[in-house]
């Protein structure tokens, strides 16, 4: 006889979630998983790419902390499902990526088949009607509990092949986008821009063919919800001179060209932040829903965020600083400033005469270099040794930003960092380096006006003077009052998103109603029946708001 708990589980909605294997992409979707489980009573099977799992362990997270059961703590991470809570099932899947460095688009492209195969096996396993207790011999374990067939697979926009896997098992793919609606809108135009011959940019568009950042190309028109904008605002991978032959370009083109196949699109943004763009995307018949900024959930969502050493070092040092005085500097998990840029940052920070907490990841320092070698001569003695600064390999960023001593966040404008800064009402100094960060920086500084843009040279590099001047502007008496007021306004909006009447909460509930309705429509039908995807579109239409 089934227990009451088992009966209840059988009635619950089950969703599979697949991130793109990089920290910046993992964080948002993992937060969504936790939210669905904790607040909406959904069962989630979450694919955790092995390279990120190992990275989290290496950064000081104990296996026991990653997995809440004693059995899992001693088991082989690559093959063992981890149970973080009764209703959140983490499945570590081999991704073929190197464990010693953050994966880039290039390395991911070459290892794609390993990850794809792992996800495919998992999906097939989950769709099996009856669970079994033994290993299936493919390195994946079968479940020991009977969760219902997944209703959909939510996957990062960068892994569009999940569409094929979802089609094969007869469930819809839901696209999860980890950046702004604005950049999604730009991406939705990529195929068209290629067919019109606008992209890849012709070499004649470049002032200097060795320069990655400066283009004299036309404005782009027609992106849903966006006014015409200069081509240089497109993500760097779209426009760099070597784009035509770069694997990243084809990779992006492939990802964005499969947008129309997704049954619904969840964007990790806030409706109130990007209303015209979201409305423009909907008018273009893209079923988008803003579902951010998702609250931080799992302790390991930010790598070593809960690593006791990093947390204590940073927070204790921040406790010794005056309110709103400290510059927090962190460039995310991928961006690699050049040696000259590291020097400009160091000297600009020193010249600003403000206390600072600076994250310098180990991979930013040469293999045979020490931290001191990577920085200007005597810099650490003049700053850290005198108690004016702290330099760490990794910081508990969300806790740092929440600390009362933080005055400004000098950031590369990665979207997670931007949302985290917004959630704490911290003004920003924008130092975009790659990907879609130039567009994010524009919104932060020109539209939301919650920070200062650092002046860039034509080739996209920056000087010590640019760092110093941006910090002085942001922290000047007038500047700090103005930017803090703006940042506080967005903090309120961001925090309201998941309150009772909050827009993102309502959007998530709306999305779940669509899935439930699909469930009802399909009840009594075969799970693998062709056409379930089409009926999903029908249901979506009837819910469209
Ligand atoms: O010392 C650190 C440094 C980073 N983080 C966390 O790591 C994440 C970094 O994410 P993000 O700010 O988005 O930067 P990237 O890792 O560089 O993210 C990539 O992915 C993002 C999401 O698509 C894009 O917006 C970026 O441009 C792209 O570089 C954030 O949650 C941070 O809290 C820490 O916890 N501690």
DSSP class of 206: B
Q: What value does the mean pLDDT of the chain take?
A: 83
What is the distance in angstroms between the CA of the first residue and the CA of the last residue of the chain? 43
Sign of the C-alpha dihedral computed for residues 221, 223, 224 and 227 taken in this order: negative
DSSP 150-185: PSEEEEETT-TTHHHHHHHHT--EEEEE-S-HHHHH
Task: Provide mean pLDDT across the span 158-171.
Answer: 95
Question: Which are the contacts of 422, defined by CB distance < 8 A and separation ≥ 6?
Answer: 293, 450, 487, 490, 491, 494
Whole-number percent of the chain with pLDDT over 70:
77
Does 83 score more than 50 pLDDT?
no
| Dist. CA 205–CA 301, nearest whole Å | 41
Does 63 score more than 70 pLDDT?
no
Whole-number percent of the chain with pLDDT over 90:
61
314, 357 Cβ separation under 8 angstroms: yes
Per-residue pLDDT, 105: 67
Instruction: Name the pairing type of β-strands 326-330 and 406-411.
Output: parallel
CA atoms within 13 A on the CB side of 12: 22
Residue ranges of E strands in 280-349: 288-290, 326-330
Does 324 score more than 60 pLDDT?
yes
Mutate to test the pocket of ligand 1, among 394, 403, 417, 420 (most ligand atoms within 8 A of CB): 417
The contacts found for 447-452 with CB under 8 angstroms, 24 or more apart, are: 448/273, 448/486, 448/490, 449/482, 449/483, 449/486, 450/421, 450/422, 450/483, 450/486, 450/487, 450/490, 451/408, 451/427, 451/483, 451/487, 452/427, 452/428, 452/479, 452/483
**Nearest residue by C-alpha to atom 26 in ligand 1:** 414
189 or 78: whose pLDDT is higher? 189
The strand pairing partners of 390, in sequence order, are 357
SS3 194: helix
Q: What's the gap in Å between 183 CA and the centre of ligand 1?
A: 16
What are the φ and ψ backbone dihedral angles of 279, each rounded to 5 degrees? -65, -40
Per-residue pLDDT, 239: 84
SS3 378: coil
323, 352 Cβ separation under 8 angstroms: no
Q: What Rg, from alpha-carbon coordinates, does the chain have?
A: 23
Per-residue pLDDT, 69: 33
Per-residue pLDDT, 440: 98
DSSP class of 355: -
463, 470 Cβ separation under 8 angstroms: no
What are the φ and ψ backbone dihedral angles of 424, each rounded to 5 degrees? -105, 5
Does 528 score more than 70 pLDDT?
no
Does 169 score more than 90 pLDDT?
yes
Per-residue pLDDT, 95: 84
ipTM: 1.00
Task: Provide mean pLDDT across the span 345-368.
Answer: 94
Task: Provide mean pLDDT across the span 14-26.
Answer: 92
Per-residue pLDDT, 307: 47
| Dist. CA 441–CA 437, nearest whole Å | 6
Does 71 score more than 60 pLDDT?
no
Does 539 score more than 60 pLDDT?
no
pLDDT digits (tens, 9 = 90+) for 288-305: 999 999 987 544 433 333
Q: pLDDT-derived band of residue 3, with 50, 70 and 90 as boundaries? A: low
Q: What's the gap in Å between 545 CA and the centre of ligand 1?
A: 32
The strand pairing partners of 267, in sequence order, are 177, 290
Ligand 1 in contact with 333 (CB < 6 A)? yes
248 or 463: whose pLDDT is higher? 463
Point out the ligand 1 atom lying closest to the alpha carbon of residue 435.
Answer: 27
State yes or no: cis peptide before 78, omega within 30 of 0. Answer: no
325, 51 Cβ separation under 8 angstroms: no
Ligand 1 in contact with 389 (CB < 6 A)? no
| Dist. CA 173–CA 171, nearest whole Å | 7
The structure tokens listed for 380 are 């650490």
Residue ranges of E strands in 111-214: 152-156, 173-177
Instruction: Name the pairing type of β-strands 356-359 and 389-392.
Output: parallel
Q: How many helices (H) and strands (E) does the chain have?
A: 23, 16
199, 190 Cβ separation under 8 angstroms: yes
Does 473 score more than 80 pLDDT?
yes
| Dist. CA 124–CA 189, nearest whole Å | 33
pLDDT digits (tens, 9 = 90+) for 392-417: 998 999 999 999 999 999 999 999 99
The strand pairing partners of 255, in sequence order, are none
Q: How many residues does the chain have?
A: 545
Ligand 1 in contact with 304 (CB < 6 A)? no
Q: Which of 47-56, 60-69, 266-275 has the weakest average pLDDT?
A: 60-69
Task: Provide mean pLDDT across the span 69-86.
Answer: 42
305, 397 Cβ separation under 8 angstroms: yes
Q: pLDDT-derived band of residue 389, with 50, 70 and 90 as boundaries? A: very high
The strand pairing partners of 89, in sequence order, are 45, 83
Q: What's the gap in Å between 214 CA and the centre of ligand 1?
A: 25
C-alpha distances (whole Å) from 66 to each of 48, 54, 135, 399, 418 are 11, 11, 22, 19, 26
Q: Which of 39-53, 254-268, 303-317 has the weakest average pLDDT?
A: 303-317
SS3 1: coil
Closest among 494, 81, 489, 113 to 269, alpha carbons compared: 494
Mutate to test the pocket of ligand 1, among 416, 431, 435, 437 (most ligand atoms within 8 A of CB): 416
**Nearest residue by C-alpha to atom 11 in ligand 1:** 414
Per-residue pLDDT, 136: 45
Closest among 79, 115, 85, 111 to 98, alpha carbons compared: 111
The strand pairing partners of 389, in sequence order, are 356
Question: Which are the contacts of 437, defined by CB distance < 8 A and separation ≥ 6?
Answer: 335, 412, 413, 414
Q: Residues 19, 23, 24, 28: what is their CA dihedral angle, to the nearest 10 degrees?
A: 50
**Nearest residue by C-alpha to atom 18 in ligand 1:** 24
Per-residue pLDDT, 107: 66
State yes or no: cis peptide before 293, omega within 30 of 0. Answer: yes
Per-residue pLDDT, 238: 86
Q: What's the gap in Å between 279 CA and the centre of ligand 1?
A: 27
Ligand 1 in contact with 359 (CB < 6 A)? yes
Q: pLDDT-derived band of residue 375, with 50, 70 and 90 as boundaries? A: very high
Does 206 score more than 70 pLDDT?
no
Q: What's the gap in Å between 23 CA and the centre of ligand 1?
A: 6
Does 137 score more than 70 pLDDT?
no
Residue ranges of E strands in 195-287: 219-220, 229-230, 264-267
| Dist. CA 234–CA 70, nearest whole Å | 47
453 or 198: whose pLDDT is higher? 453
Per-residue pLDDT, 132: 44
Does 468 score more than 50 pLDDT?
yes
Q: What's the gap in Å between 235 CA and the centre of ligand 1?
A: 16
Per-residue pLDDT, 7: 53
C-alpha distances (whole Å) from 425 to each of 215, 311, 312, 411, 514 are 34, 21, 23, 14, 34
pLDDT digits (tens, 9 = 90+) for 241-279: 677 778 888 889 999 999 999 999 999 999 999 999 999
């Amino acid at each position: 006889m089934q227990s009451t708990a088992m009966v209840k589980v059988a009635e619950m909605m089950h969703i599979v979630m697949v991130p793109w294997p990089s920290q910046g992409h993992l964080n948002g979707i993992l937060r969504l998983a936790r939210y669905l489980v904790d607040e909406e009573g959904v069962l989630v099977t979450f694919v955790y790419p092995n390279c990120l799992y190992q990275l989290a362990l290496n950064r000081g997270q104990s296996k026991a902390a990653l997995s809440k059961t004693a059995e899992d703590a001693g088991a082989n991470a690559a093959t063992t499902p981890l149970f973080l809570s009764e209703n959140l099932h983490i499945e570590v899947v081999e991704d073929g990526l190197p464990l010693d460095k953050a994966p880039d688009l290039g390395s991911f492209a070459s290892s794609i088949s390993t990850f794809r195969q792992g996800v495919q096996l998992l999906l097939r396993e989950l769709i099996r009607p009856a669970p079994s207790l033994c290993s299936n011999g493919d390195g994946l374990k079968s479940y020991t509990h009977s969760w219902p067939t997944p209703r959909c697979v939510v996957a990062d926009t960068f892994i569009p092949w999940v569409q094929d896997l979802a089609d094969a098992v007869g469930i819809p793919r839901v696209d999860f986008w980890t950046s702004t609606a604005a950049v999604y809108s730009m991406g939705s135009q990529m195929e068209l821009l290629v067919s019109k011959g606008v992209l890849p940019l012709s070499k004649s568009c470049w002032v200097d063919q060795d320069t990655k950042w400066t283009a004299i190309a036309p404005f782009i028109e027609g992106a849903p919800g966006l006014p015409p904008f200069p081509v240089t605002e497109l993500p760097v991978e779209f426009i760099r001179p070597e784009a035509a032959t770069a694997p990243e370009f084809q990779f992006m083109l492939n990802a964005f060209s499969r947008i129309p196949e997704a049954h619904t699109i969840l964007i990790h943004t806030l409706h109130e932040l990007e209303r015209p763009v979201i409305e423009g995307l909907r008018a273009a018949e893209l079923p988008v829903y803003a579902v951010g900024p998702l609250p931080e959930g799992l302790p390991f969502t930010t790598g070593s965020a809960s690593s006791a050493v990093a947390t204590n070092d940073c927070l204790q040092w921040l406790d010794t600083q005056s309110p709103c005085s400290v510059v927090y500097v962190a460039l995310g998990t991928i961006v690699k400033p050049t040696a000259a840029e590291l020097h400009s940052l160091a000297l600009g920070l020193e010249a600003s005469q403000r206390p600072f907490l600076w994250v310098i990841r180990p991979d930013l320092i040469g293999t045979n270099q020490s931290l001191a070698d990577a920085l200007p001569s005597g810099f650490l003695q003049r700053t850290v040794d005198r108690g004016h600064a702290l330099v760490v390999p990794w910081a508990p960023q969300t806790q740092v930003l929440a600390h009362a001593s933080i005055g400004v966040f000098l950031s590369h404008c990665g979207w997670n960092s931007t949302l985290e800064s917004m959630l704490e009402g911290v003004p920003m100094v924008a130092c975009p380096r790659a990907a879609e960060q130039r567009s994010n920086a524009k919104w932060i500084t020109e539209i939301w006006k919650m920070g200062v843009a650092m002046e860039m040279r034509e080739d996209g590099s920056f000087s010590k003077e640019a760092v110093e001047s941006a910090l002085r502007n942001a922290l000047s008496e007038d500047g700090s009052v103005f930017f803090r007021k703006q940042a506080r306004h967005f903090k309120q909006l961001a925090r309201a998103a998941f309150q009772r009447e909050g827009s993102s909460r309502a959007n998530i509930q709306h999305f779940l109603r669509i899935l439930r309705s699909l469930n009802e429509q399909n009840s009594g039908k075969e799970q693998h029946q062709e056409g379930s995807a089409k009926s999903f579109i029908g249901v979506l239409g009837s819910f469209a708001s």
